[in-house]
Structure formats: structure tokens, C-alpha cells
Amino acid sequence: MTSNTPYPPALDAGLETERLSQTIKDWSIANGLAVRPPPALVGQNQDPEGILAINAPVTLFPSPFPKSCFEEAKAIQTNYNELYARISQDEEFLGRLVQEVADGDDFIAKLWEIHLKVKEEGYVQNLSLGLFRSDYMVHQDGDHLQIKQVEFNTIASSFGGLSAQTSLLHQHLSKTEYPLLTTPIPPNTLNLPANTSAHSLAAGLHAAYEAYGPSILNHPTCILFIVQDGERNIFDQRHLEYSLQQSSIPVFRLPFSQLLTHTTLSPTPLRQLLYHLPHNPSQIFEVAVTYLRAGYGPNDYPAPSSWLARRRIETSNTIPCPTILTQLAGMKKVQQVLATPPGPSTLAKFIPDEEKSSALWRTFTNIYPLDSSSPAGREARRLATDPKECLKYVMKPQREGGGNNFYKGAIPEQLKKVPEEHWNSFILMELITPPAVQNTILRQGKLEKGGVICELGVYGTCLWDQKTGQVKHNEEAGYLLRTKGDQSEEGGVAAGFGCMDSVALV
């Protein structure tokens, strides 16, 4: 790819586009770049046997992405892993922030309540595992490009499985299809970096499994994936499972709603978490690692039994991914406190190495509290309620997953619905201005062509001891590129806003 060559190339609206689209459709299904169809597409209860799959939404071409920004994001991921591992160990720091948002956020308050109950009972597992993802957009300031962090995910950081497959798809097309286009892209023209996200995330789970060690109860040990009912993004998760199973590690999936039914705690001081196979309850596995792909939002806790299920994980000897404290470390409030003056001193508390903390600080954008007691909070309230000033911002609650944020003119309207004393459960973030990029998205068989915005996520895996602070495993673990139309504000693929993509470094 050269600066003089239009990219991506224009496609003939007929057979050329049809051929490329069909190749992507077939390759995606053949290689598990897929999701279960939404009920709206196939009709309610029209797939009772769970046999249908459709292509995950994906771009026809890998999107151009600045090489320097990509390399910077990957290079600092282990610093971010270390930062959030240390934040997770600081109960006093997290408790103070929870108290600031809890009055307006029952979900956060309930998570903290479960932590306190387990703390009173006594934690029996000191090891904690994080499968993290730090999300960025490229901010363009004149001719200067720099990565700015959108958010840091500490629970259910998804799409590592599909992201690796998307990279393979675009690499395949670069060898077989792009050279045949009317405006060809010769082989080896695009700089497409390898992406090991599925394997690397599985390696983090594997490290925790090995650290757990053999069962003292003489049960076989396993890794348990806790998932949502009716999970559509199942193939993304399966790629991680299959990678683990290649290492002969037993892996099972259990809906969060069925955890109390199919698990028990051993009657020993260590309270081992025991999984009873649903089809053969006498066959028992000791759960070495519990990987939560559910439990990140209020909808996963529809009944008191849901909270009992989360408490069972937390109170047992399994290595949780994540603990409640690690989940709370992913609050947007934490991100805001790190980025708001005196943010550098707060950051230095956790990362005293000046070179590391400076590298992290450079990725922060302007984020403000919405409290009424601090100067920054009062200024943010003014910005958020001003009809013109609010157009530069996004307002975020303490939530994971897409579809929860309020953008620009929707901010003052939302604040009118919220009691002022609860405004501090939100944070106000300055919008990032990305460079213009063109691409075409293939979504449910239809093409969406035009301007797009790309969001880079870098995965990290970290295993540490909550008691001693010792880090036993800390690795960067591949990347995710999500792309959305430039008129869309949200970017979550699972929430229906974005699509899968990969980078072509420029």
C-alpha cells in the first residue's frame, strides 16, 4: 500500500463485489468467524436445536492503522496489566470509589456487598487472573497521531477468538483474492501483523490452571467457562476452549443461571468448587479456574439466586477470572481518577516507575467526575448541561458492554432524568477525534460502504497473588480491531454496533 494508491480499492458493483463477498461468507463459516443469528433475523424460537450460524460482521479489507500507534499500544499492555493488578489489591482505594458511585448505581453497590460478605467469611484463594483488554482510538491533532484510551476492560473481554480468525481471513484474501481485483493489491503489499489473541488468552488461562495444581481431593481438575443463557457469541468462546483442550485441559461451559444447580463447595476449609457433570452428576471435576463470560451487568442477576451464584465463586478456592475486586477495578470511575489531576500522583502510587507511568499517562484523554464537591466535577456539570459544550463529550456509567453510553446532545437530556445527587455515578469523557478511514462492512449479507471509525483493543493476561502482590504471569496477548460506520457512536460488536476488522499497518 502506497500513499498514491487509493485504499481500499474501488470494487465493481457487480460480479467483483459478489465474488469477494461470497468468498468471505464461505471462509468465515468454514473457519468459525461466526455468531448465532439474532431472533429478529430467524424469528423467535425458530432455531430450537441451536444449529444455525451466520457470518460475524466483518470488513471486506483490513483497515489502515498507524504502525507507531499500534506498536505503542502493544508495548504498554504489560504496564496496564500491572497497573490493574495493583489496583485490584488496593481494597481501600476501590472502596472509596465505590462509595462515591454506589448511591446512584445499585449494581456496583451489590458487587461490593458480596465482596464484604466473602471477606468476613474469609477468602481462601489468593491467586487472581485477569484477561484484560485496553481499548484505544487514534486521536488526530493536526498532523500528529496518538493513541488515546477509550476504556479498560477487566471482565468478559470478548472477541479474542474471532479477532484471530479475522486476521487470518484478511491474510487469506491478501494472497488469493485481492491480487485478482480490477485494481489489484499485489501479494505482500499489505503489512498484516500476526494476531495470536485466541492462543495467547488461552495461555493465560493455562497459566492459572497450572498454578492451581493437582486436586488434594483426588478429583480431576478443569476450567469452567461461565456463560450467558442463549449466548450468540459462542464461537468466539469456543476458539479459546479448543486451544485449551489441545493441551489436554478439561474445559466445560456452564450458564450462570445453572451454577448453583451443577456446582457444590467441598466441606473442607479450602471450599473447593466442584462441578458435577449435568448428564452424569456422579462424575465430579474440581474447578481450578472459573472464567466469567457472564456476570458483568445487572441483567445477569435477575434473582437473588444469581448473587448467591457469584458469591459461591468468590468464596471458593477456584481461581476466578475475575474476582469482584478486579471487576470493580474496571469501573469508569477508576479510569477517571487515574486521568484527572492529581492523576499523575495517583498513577505513581500504583506504578512508581516513572518511565512506565509516563507511557501510560500519555494514553489518557480528558476525563472528569460529575460530583458537586470538586472543582473538576462542578466544571464537568457545566460542560455536560451546556447545549454546545456537551457536543464534545460522551457520558459513561460504570458498565461493561456496548449500548450504555450517552453522547453529545443526549447528555443533558439523560441528566434531566437522573437525580442530581446520583450524577457522580457517571463520568464525562472528551470525545476522541480519529482520522478519516474508508471501508466496506459485510453485515448479515448486506454491504455498508463509507467512512468508518476504528477502535483498537490490546489483550493482556496477568496472574498475581492478591496477598503478596507477586505477579506470576504478565503477557500482552494479541489484538482486536473493531470498526463501525462513522455515523455510529457505540462500537460493541455483540451489541450490534460494530464489526470485526484487522489492521493494515501504515
| Phi and psi, residue 266, nearest 5° | -65, 145
Catalytic annotation, pick one of 332, 381, 399, 484? 332
Catalytic annotation, pick one of 310, 333, 399, 482? 482
Cell of 450: 463509507
> What is the four-CA torsion angle of 269, 270, 275, 276, rounded to 10 degrees?
-30
Catalytic annotation, pick one of 400, 455, 475, 476? 400
Q: How far apart are CA 197 and CA 479, in angstroms?
A: 6
121 is catalytic: no
4 is catalytic: no
Which alpha helices (DSSP H) does 267-366 contain, by range? Answer: 304-315, 324-329, 332-339, 343-350, 354-361
Helix (H, G, I), strand (E, B) or coil at 263: strand
311 is catalytic: no
C-alpha closest to that of 209 among 129, 96, 118: 129
Residue type at 494 in one-letter notation: A
Q: How far apart are CA 29 and CA 279, in angstroms?
A: 30
The alpha-carbon radius of gyration of the chain (Å, integer) is 23
238 is catalytic: no
Residue type at 114 in one-letter notation: I
C-alpha closest to that of 496 among 89, 38, 7, 190: 38
Q: How far apart are CA 358 and CA 348, in angstroms?
A: 9
Catalytic annotation, pick one of 21, 28, 153, 167? 153
Q: How far apart are CA 266 and CA 437, in angstroms?
A: 55
Q: How far apart are CA 50 and CA 47, in angstroms?
A: 5
151 is catalytic: yes
Catalytic annotation, pick one of 293, 381, 396, 484? 396
Catalytic annotation, pick one of 133, 381, 399, 484? 133
- In DSSP terms, 148 is beta-bridged to 137
Helix (H, G, I), strand (E, B) or coil at 224: strand
Q: Where are the beta strands (DSSP E) in 380-426?
A: 393-396, 406-407
443 is catalytic: no
153 is catalytic: yes
Catalytic annotation, pick one of 82, 100, 151, 476? 151
- DSSP per-residue string spanning 114-155: HHHHHHHH-----EEEEEEEEEEEEEEETTEEEEEEEEEE-S
| Cα separation values, 407 from 325, 333, 389, 404, 497, Å | 29, 18, 12, 10, 14
Query: Quick check: 472 and 93 in contact, CB under 8 A?
Result: no
Q: How far apart are CA 117 and CA 119, in angstroms?
A: 5
DSSP H or E segment with residue 163? helix 160-176
Catalytic annotation, pick one of 343, 401, 485, 496? 401
Cell of 168: 487470518
Query: How many helices (DSSP H) and strands (DSSP E) are in the chain?
Result: 17, 21
- Specify the residue for cell string 503489512: 191
CA 151 to chain centre: 9
Catalytic annotation, pick one of 28, 55, 88, 158? 158
Pairing of strands 319-321, 251-255: unpaired
Please give the positions annotated as active site: 133, 151, 153, 158, 332, 396, 400-401, 482
